[in-house]
């Protein structure tokens, strides 16, 4: 088992998507498979047709026991979660995100201070990232 001590939050920077879509995008970029461990859908998969049941739906990406490819310098010790969207996330996505975070924080004994946005990682900040395009400080107060 690898040592997991933080959770890094991302957005897809796309208006639609799911694990299948992101897997193909990441393979095109030269990764082995999807870089994230979890994806939370906004209701729009690749066909761009809204499906209520897919709004807030959690999908599993890369196996959690395998290091992700989402935050250079932090991959080996973190879990990567991606919300589909640019900055316009749904209430259903945030509800599912908070539920998942509480579960993971308990399972891996991760304090709330170590639930961070991509922009708060060393490499993300150095790269001028704004991902996941919402205020993670506000989210932490709700965990
Ligand atoms: Zn990111």
- At 76-107, the pLDDT tens digits run 999 999 999 999 999 999 999 999 999 999 99
> How far, in Å, from the CA of 119 to the mean position of ligand 1?
7
> How far, in Å, from the CA of 68 to the mean position of ligand 1?
12
pLDDT in tens, 98-143: 999 999 999 999 999 999 999 999 999 999 999 999 999 999 999 9
CATH number of 6-141: 3.40.80.10
Query: At residue 131, what are phi and psi to the nearest 5 degrees?
Result: -55, 135
Q: How confident is the model at residue 46 (pLDDT cuts 50, 70, 90)?
A: confident
CA angle 77, 93, 53 (to 5 degrees): 120
> How far, in Å, from the CA of 61 to the mean position of ligand 1?
15
Scanning the chain, the segments in alpha helix (DSSP H) are 19-28, 91-108, 122-126, 136-141
Query: At residue 53, what are phi and psi to the nearest 5 degrees?
Result: -65, -20
Scanning 3-47, the segments in alpha helix (DSSP H) are 19-28
pTM of the model: 0.97
> How far, in Å, from the CA of 77 to the mean position of ligand 1?
16
């Amino acid at each position: 088992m690898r040592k997991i001590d933080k959770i890094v939050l991302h957005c897809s920077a796309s208006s639609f998507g799911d694990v299948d879509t992101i897997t193909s995008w990441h393979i095109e970029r030269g990764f082995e498979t999807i870089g994230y461990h979890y994806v939370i859908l906004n209701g729009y998969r690749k066909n761009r047709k809204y499906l209520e049941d897919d709004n807030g739906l959690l999908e599993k990406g890369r196996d959690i026991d395998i290091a992700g490819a989402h935050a250079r310098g932090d991959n080996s010790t973190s879990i990567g979660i991606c919300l589909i969207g640019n900055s316009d996330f749904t209430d259903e996505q945030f509800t599912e995100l908070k539920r998942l975070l509480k579960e993971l924080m308990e399972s891996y004994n991760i304090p709330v201070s170590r639930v961070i946005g991509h922009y708060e990682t060393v490499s993300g900040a150095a790269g001028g990232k704004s991902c996941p395009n919402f205020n993670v400080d506000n989210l932490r107060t709700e965990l």
